[in-house]
Chain A
Amino acid sequence: MDSVTPQVIFTIFGLPITDTVISTWVIMAVIIVFAWFIRKYKPGIAEIIIESISGIIASVMPDDTKVLRFLPILGTLALFLMIANIFSIFPLMVAPTANINTTFALAIVVFFAVHVYGIFVRGFWGYVKNVATPVFILPLEIISQVSRTISLSIRLFGNILSTDLIVAIIFSLIPFFLPLPLAALSILTGVLQAYIFTVLASLYIASAVEVEEKETERRRLKREAKLSSQLTERIN
């Protein structure tokens, strides 16, 4: 079980600091230095990264959505997960997403982001009306929101943990050369899971925003019909 649960490295004022937290700090430092370096010296690379991430997000959202509105949270998720999932290939480091606390925190961020974006674009009562029409849908909606948060976190956690465990088991049996293809498989799984997490988060956000666009379209049609009827009245 020692390989599954996080190890406490040291404590600050009785607060245990595990290796997951240290890996997360290292990843934060790497991302900050990388972003500063790219911004200072190679702005073209930043453009390529932003273009590719917004392309991934735009491929699952409806066609005329403004992707740049959701890029800060989804792009940050994609960058962090892309580095964090493959972080156990570096010596002395563990992947932070092989701990369920990290993945559950990320899934809760996505859970609140969906509602915040929904309320942000539709207004509070508009969003509540959207979720609860008809009223007996509301319990099902709540269950689906909670269960997809749990499944989002457990999927990422299980995938990363299982590939890391496979590499560790093979390494303890045959330490030479055989762990290499499995480590490559773990890198592939990590990148794929980062992609999946980002795509699912953007799908959930899109499901809160898409209805809003239908609603505005309907309002626009109604307003135009009203205007045209007024015009015809005035002409008559």
Chain B
Amino acid sequence: MWELDSPTLITVLTIMFSSIGIVLGCVVPAIMEGIATKHALDGMSRQPDAANDLRTTLLISMALLESTAIYVLLVILILIFANPLLDRFFV
């Protein structure tokens, strides 16, 4: 692998670490959203009167959690489609 020339090496490394990054960035927020939903559903089934408040809070917190996954996706889109390292070093 180390006999590759530098742009190819950077591309290969970028793709490898993008895959690892998108896996981590999807798995961790998904687990956390599952935990948040679990506790919200527990609260809703225990107190159906508070279901509306809980649903609003759940949606807001899910969006805040989801946005971390979106940040990872944006960084990886930039790395794959418009890699700044390739542009800077090897025009």
Contact = CB atoms under 8 A, between A and B. Distances in A.
Given A1-B82, A4-B81, A151-B67, A162 B59 contact: no
**Interface size bracket, A side:** 10 to 19
B28 interface: no
A75 B60 CA distance: 18
Interface stretch (A25-33, A118-126, A193-201, A216-224): A193-201
B63 A155 contact: yes
Contacts of A159: 66, 70
Given A59-B53, A157-B74, A195-B59, 10 more contacts: A1-B81, A4-B81, A154-B67, A155-B63, A155-B67, A158-B71, A161-B77, A192-B59, A199-B60, A203-B60
Interface in A118-167: 151, 154-155, 157-159, 161-162
B56 A59 contact: yes
A6 B81 CA distance: 14
A8 interface: no
A154 B67 CA distance: 8
B74 A59 contact: no
Contacts of B60: 60, 196, 199-200, 203
B56 A60 contact: yes
A4 B59 contact: no
Contacts of A151: 67
A203 B81 CA distance: 35
Interface of B: 52-53, 56, 59-60, 63, 66-67, 70-71, 73-74, 77, 81-82
Contact of A158 (B52, B56, B59, B70): B70
Contacts of A4: 77, 81
A3 B53 CA distance: 39
B35 to A, nearest CB: 19
26 contacts: A4-B77, A4-B81, A59-B52, A59-B53, A60-B56, A60-B60, A154-B67, A154-B70, A154-B74, A155-B66, A158-B71, A158-B74, A159-B66, A162-B70, A162-B73, A192-B59, A195-B59, A196-B59, A196-B60, A196-B63, A199-B56, A199-B59, A199-B60, A200-B60, A200-B63, A203-B60
A155 B52 CA distance: 24
Contacts of B82: 1
Contact of B67 (A158, A199, A203): A158
A46 to B, nearest CB: 25
Nearest to A193: B63
A101 to B, nearest CB: 15
